[in-house]
Amino acid sequence: MRRFFVLFKKEFLQIKRNSFLPKLIIIFPIVIMMLMPLVMTMDVKNVNIAVVDLDRSTASHRIASHIEASEYLTLATVTAEFPLAMEALEQGAVDVIVQIPDNYERDMMGGPTEKISITANAVNATKGGMGMQYVVQTIARTLTELRGEKMPVEVSELVTIENRYNPTLNYRHYMIPALMIILFILVCGFLPALSIVGEKEAGTIEQINVTPVSRLTFTLGKLVPYWLIGLFVLTIAMVVAWLVYGLTPAGSVGLIYLGAALFILVISGFSLTIANFSETMQQSMFVMFFFIMLFMLMSGLLTPIDSMPLWAQRFTIILPPRYFIDILRSVYLKGTTFMDMWQNFAALGIFAVVFNTLATLTYKKQA
């Protein structure tokens, strides 16, 4: 016990004496939590629209003015000639073209209707796609309005689209848990590896290897300090999310800490394992980066797992962050309870045991 305690104390003293680490551990979560939710938004604003009005009716004017009034859309130009609008689209001045056919208003009331056509520049797929959706919603609303005035009985089937509208704030709340996980991966994924490889480079690990300290004690001495630091980082992140974005967990705070406690063990154990195989900082960082790319891009942090190809979906089963992002989002946003997702906790528990056993076994005192 005393062996563990002196190693634990030493690790903290070293972190404290480092001119950079203590500042990083406090500033990192604050900056990431304050800045990133503002930047990482999938909402599209200022979509430039060209209206090609061949109808010149009340209805077409109404559509144009509603587009102009929209918060997300900007009416760039109204013209009667499609090629002009197309030219603007090619130059990048316009993102979406709305063409209202001749006699649209008249035909709307009955008979075969020539449809409104929408053309979007999808080079920037997000802006094109989302812009198109906004336009469809805006037009749908206008049409419902127009039909309501003229034939009050009929309810447009397009009304349902309205539910898709995603206010910016929700997206931000959706991203905040993901940012917390990125923080854990950066702090608890890199620091333990750096600390071990740093000792290899300084030669101090050899002085430890020639003592009777057990591999488990040494590994715990490296693990526990970063585990506590991780929980500290979580606390800062949660406070910032609450103060700045007014986001508090809908479910139990204890459950979030439980999930985080397990997840940090997983990621730190992983980091220590990598460090045991690395001789230099460069090597350990390069390998860590490779896995962090996988973790960030494939475990549903930024893009939903459901829309990945099937093989990728199966692959995510072995990515630990996948389970924690699920826990964090559900507990934060939906207020899910432990019983609803005990499988996720169990998965994290298994990963924690596996990686830390690996970290202990791959640490070689005698080569």
Partner 1 sequence: MSEVVISVRELTKCFGDFTAVDRISFDVERGEIFGFLGANGAGKTTAMRMLCGLSFPTSGSGTVAGYDIMHQGEEIKRHIGYMSQRFSLYNDLTVWENIDLFAGIYGLSKSETKQRATELLERLNFASERNTLVGSLPLGWKQKLSFAIATIHRPKVVFLDEPTGGVDPMTRRQFWELIYEAADRGTTIFVTTHYMDEAEYCTRVSIMVDGQVRALDTPARLKQQFAAETMDEVFRTLARGAKRGE
Residue 211 sits in the site that holds partner 1 (CB under 8 A): yes
Running DSSP on this structure, what letter comes out for residue 362? Answer: T
Among 83, 110, 111, 203, binds partner 1 (CB under 8 A): 203
Residue 13 sits in the site that holds partner 1 (CB under 8 A): yes
Alpha carbons 150 and 148: distance in angstroms, whole number: 6
Strands 117-120 and 96-100, how do they pair?
Answer: antiparallel
Stretch that binds partner 1, among 187-195, 210-218, 254-262, 268-276 (CB under 8 A): 210-218
- Enumerate helices (H) and strands (E) in the chain, giving the number of each: 14, 4
Stretch that binds partner 1, among 2-10, 117-125, 232-240, 294-302 (CB under 8 A): 2-10
Binding-site size, partner 1 (CB under 8 A): 26
**Contact (CB, 8 A) for 189 and 270:** yes
Q: Among residues 310 and 367, whose Cβ is nearest to partner 1? A: 367
Per-residue binder mask for partner 1 (CB under 8 A), 17-56, x = binder: xx--------------------------------------
Residue 2 sits in the site that holds partner 1 (CB under 8 A): yes
| Alpha carbon distances (Å) from 356 to 178, 263, 273 | 24, 12, 8
CB of 353 to partner 1, least distance (A): 24
**Contact (CB, 8 A) for 133 and 164:** yes
DSSP assignment of 229-293 equals HHHHHHHHHHHHHHHHH----SS-HHHHHHHHHHHHHHHHHHHHHHHHH-SSHHHHHHHHHHHHH
Could you tell me the two tokens for 139? 């037009």
| Alpha carbon distances (Å) from 138 to 44, 141, 299 | 14, 5, 34
CB of 324 to partner 1, least distance (A): 33
The neighbouring-strand residues paired with 98 are: 51, 118
How many residues are given for the chain?
A: 367
Among 91, 160, 163, 366, binds partner 1 (CB under 8 A): 366
Stretch that binds partner 1, among 5-13, 35-43, 140-148, 224-232 (CB under 8 A): 5-13
Among 27, 80, 109, 202, binds partner 1 (CB under 8 A): 202
Among 30, 208, 287, 294, binds partner 1 (CB under 8 A): 208
Alpha carbons 73 and 67: distance in angstroms, whole number: 6
Running DSSP on this structure, what letter comes out for residue 120? Answer: E
Among 83, 112, 152, 212, binds partner 1 (CB under 8 A): 212
Residue 207 sits in the site that holds partner 1 (CB under 8 A): yes
Q: Among residues 56 and 215, whose Cβ is nearest to partner 1? A: 215
CB of 219 to partner 1, least distance (A): 14
CB of 356 to partner 1, least distance (A): 20
Q: Among residues 16 and 339, whose Cβ is nearest to partner 1? A: 16
Chain residues 59-88 in contact with partner 1, contact rule CB under 8 A: none
Q: Among residues 169 and 213, whose Cβ is nearest to partner 1? A: 213
Helix-helix angle 320-329:253-277, to 10 degrees: 160
Q: Among residues 222 and 322, whose Cβ is nearest to partner 1? A: 222
The neighbouring-strand residues paired with 51 are: 78, 98
Catalog residues that contact partner 1 under the rule CB under 8 A. 2-3, 5-7, 9-10, 13-14, 17-18, 202-204, 206-214, 365-367
